[in-house]
Structure formats: structure tokens, C-alpha cells
Amino acid sequence: MTKALFYLGHPAHFHLYKNAILSFPSDEIVVCIKSKDVLETLLKESGIEFLNIDSKSSGSKKNKIRIILNFSRRMLKLMGIILKHKPQRLVGSAAELGVLGKLLNIPSFILFEDDFEKVASFARIAGPTATYLVCPDCCSAWKWNHKKLGYPSYHELAYLHPNHFTPDRKRVEKIFDLSVKNFIVRFSELGAYHDVGKTGITDDIARRLIKILAEHGKVHLTSERNLTPEFEPYRINIRASDIHHALYYAEMFIGDSQTMTAEAAVLGTPAIRFNDFVGELSYLEDLEKTYHLTSGVRTDDPDKLFQVLDAYLSIENIKKEWSSRRDKMLLEKSDFSKTMQWLLSCSPKDIDCLKKIEELERFR
């Protein structure tokens, strides 16, 4: 019997769902993916079997027509797999699962961190069709809050909570010279449905960042998009499964990626985000305004980016200060991996069981 179908569309989804996937016998689940950055590599390194339903759309030039065509093609492929395996529930962060769950009368659990109002195209599909909308308690499910299952945590604490992640110096000492400060700079592809019209770190800004950071230590670039030749010497050469160890030992993270900003923040690494979603996403606002683990700057104010960077660089023993801030955050957040395993152990119709994910003490 197939208890669950998981659908992964981003490397962060691998980390998010990994522990839940591994909690099931392999013959009780189906894992489907669409290619994105290092997602396939992570799955292969972990030994998790998967079906790739879209190996072409990642990295292709995005426009609304292409996004709709890719969505429709994935829907058809997923439908065939669902009809073959007959899973008891559909689990993932993609709107396709809500639609197919509604059509095939299978409960769907859509997990997300971006407030629905800010990803309206996604929300208008997932909101009406999903059975449950699972998100941090600080996030909004917009018109569909009656479907919301909120929990006191973040996606990133499914895999970076101390219960699951122990930093290992040996996994980064061949990459980092740990006798100096190491800075990680991240360039995102910004090619998802919610990224249309959004911008991040340009080449000009990257040059300025590298020049400043190089005066304080060593700069390491990680990028979803193609790098121009001048930046290649800075590209970090690291196994996909080791990036979180690098983030932990980095002095600072600067990037235009939501996910890696949040990952750095929950690891206690000072993080600066530069993109057009700043001020719009509640979970990152929570990390910034409640726990002071990250700072966000919108792209229409690049001067502020360098002001924030200068302020961070001037803080003595910044990693020690951020470690204390992280400890406070961890006291007030649950281990989301435990939360998710509980969620998937409940009958999809047992709302009292499902609602227990709201409890902090149960899932520390």
C-alpha cells in the first residue's frame, strides 16, 4: 500500500521532506521531482529513489505561457503516477498536488512558507484545491485560513534543528581556510512562478560585494545562474550535501535567496538578503524582527545594502552574538521534522490529531 506521494521541486524540499520520507518503508511511498539546481544530486547522494517528471524546465527562460505549459505537462505526468500507485495522501509544496487531489479525491497537504497574498498565482490554485495548507504559525493562508495547519517553527528547522544537524568542520576544512573569515555569497536563478519580475544581486553589485569582503577574508560564490568568467575563481567547490556545514562555519552570508538566508539565520550565521521580497514574507520578517538573525534590503536601495554590510562587518565577535540570538529562537520553535512525522501519522480526516502540530512542547 502506498501511504504517501511526495513531490519535490527545489533542493530545499529535499531537506524539508528527507526525514519524513525516510520514516516510511521505501515500498510505502513514491517520490517525484522536477529538476532544480542540485536536487537530483542530493537525492542520489542520500540513496532515495525518485521519478523525475520534469528534467527540462529548470534553467529555461521563464514567461507566463511557458510556466503554464510546464505546469500542465507536470500535471499529466503526476496524474499517471498517482493513478498507478494510488497513494493515501499527496504531500509537497506544489499547486499541482492540490488540483490532482481534488480531481482524484485524495487528501493533499501543501506545505509553504511564503504568505499566500505574496504568491497570488500559486495561492489561487492551491488555496481552493488543497485539503490542508501547512505553514508556520506566523504565515498567512489568505482567503483559505480555515484550511491552515499552523506550527511554531520554520521549514528550515526540519533539517537544521540541532536534533538533526551537527556541524562538521572536517566537511569544510578542504574548502575553507578556517584561520580566516569566510563569506558566502549566493546568486539565485529567480525563475519560479513567484519570481517573475523580481530581481536580486546584479554583476555590478557582486563586484562591489567581493571587493569589500575580500578585504576581510575569503569570498565563496554559490550560484543557480551562470557566472561570468570574472566570478568563476570565487565559485565554491563543494558537495551539495555539505553546503549547510559551510553555512554554519561562514562568517556571514549575503544573497538574494530566501531559502539560504533562512538557513543561515537558523544556523546562527549573520545573513543579509537583497531581493524584492524583503518586507513581504512573514517567516523572514520573524527571523529579522523577532530574533534579529538576518537583515533584508530591497533592490531599489543598493546603497542600504552596503550600509548594512558595513554595520555587520563592524560588529566584534558577531558570530558569538548571533549564536546567542539563535539559542533564543530555538527555545521558542519546535523541531519541524518531528512535527511533520506526527502530521503524516495522523489519519487525513482526524482534524484533532492534525491540529496538535500547533503544540510547542510536544515537538521540541
Q: Are 83 and 56 in contact (CB under 8 A)?
A: no
What pLDDT shows up at residue 196?
A: 43
What pLDDT shows up at residue 364?
A: 86
All residues at 6 or more sequence positions from 39 whose CB lies less than 8 Å from its CB, including other chains = 8, 9, 10, 11, 13, 14, 33
pLDDT digits 0-9 by tens, 105-123: 999 999 999 999 999 999 9
pLDDT category at 193 given cuts 50, 70, 90 is very low
The values of phi and psi at residue 293, to 5°, are -100, -10
Q: Are residues 255 and 315 in the same domain?
A: yes
pLDDT category at 60 given cuts 50, 70, 90 is low
What pLDDT shows up at residue 198?
A: 52
Q: Are residues 214 and 313 in the same domain?
A: yes
**pTM of structure:** 0.91
Q: Does 164 map to a domain?
A: no
Checking if the pLDDT of 354 tops 70, the result is: yes
Across the chain, what does the average pLDDT equal? 92
Q: What is the DSSP letter of 354?
A: H
All residues at 6 or more sequence positions from 320 whose CB lies less than 8 Å from its CB, including other chains = none
Average pLDDT (222-241) is 89
Checking if the pLDDT of 244 tops 60, the result is: yes
To which residue does cell 558570530 refer? 319
Q: Are residues 342 and 315 in the same domain?
A: no
What percent of the chain lies above the pLDDT cut of 90? 80
Q: Are residues 244 and 351 in the same domain?
A: no
Q: Which residue has the higher pLDDT, 101 or 67?
A: 101
What pLDDT shows up at residue 59?
A: 53
Q: Are residues 217 and 282 in the same domain?
A: yes
Cα first-last separation, the chain:
31
Q: Which residue has the higher pLDDT, 270 or 59?
A: 270
Q: Does 288 map to a domain?
A: yes
pLDDT digits 0-9 by tens, 202-218: 999 999 999 999 999 99
Average pLDDT (9-35) is 92
What pLDDT shows up at residue 68?
A: 84
In DSSP terms, which residues pair with 135 in a beta bridge? 150
Q: Are residues 115 and 40 in the same domain?
A: yes
What pLDDT shows up at residue 99?
A: 97
d(C-alpha 147, C-alpha 124), whole Å: 14
Checking if the pLDDT of 195 tops 50, the result is: no
d(C-alpha 293, C-alpha 177), whole Å: 24
Sheet holding 132-136, edge to edge: 51-54, 29-34, 4-8, 90-92, 108-111, 132-136, 148-151
- Cα angle: 144, vertex 146, 151; to 5 degrees: 100
Average pLDDT (322-339) is 97
Q: Are residues 214 and 290 in the same domain?
A: yes
Q: What is the DSSP letter of 271?
A: E
Number of domains in the chain: 2
d(C-alpha 107, C-alpha 344), whole Å: 11
Checking if the pLDDT of 194 tops 50, the result is: no
**Total residue length of the chain:** 364
Domain that holds residue 211: 169-331
Average pLDDT (155-174) is 95
CATH number, position 253: 3.40.50.2000
All residues at 6 or more sequence positions from 68 whose CB lies less than 8 Å from its CB, including other chains = none
DSSP result, 183-247: EEEEE----SGGGTT-----HHHHHHHHHHHHTTEEEEEEESSPPPGGGGGGB----GGGHHHHH
Q: Angle, nearest 10°, between helix axes 11-22 and 258-266?
A: 60
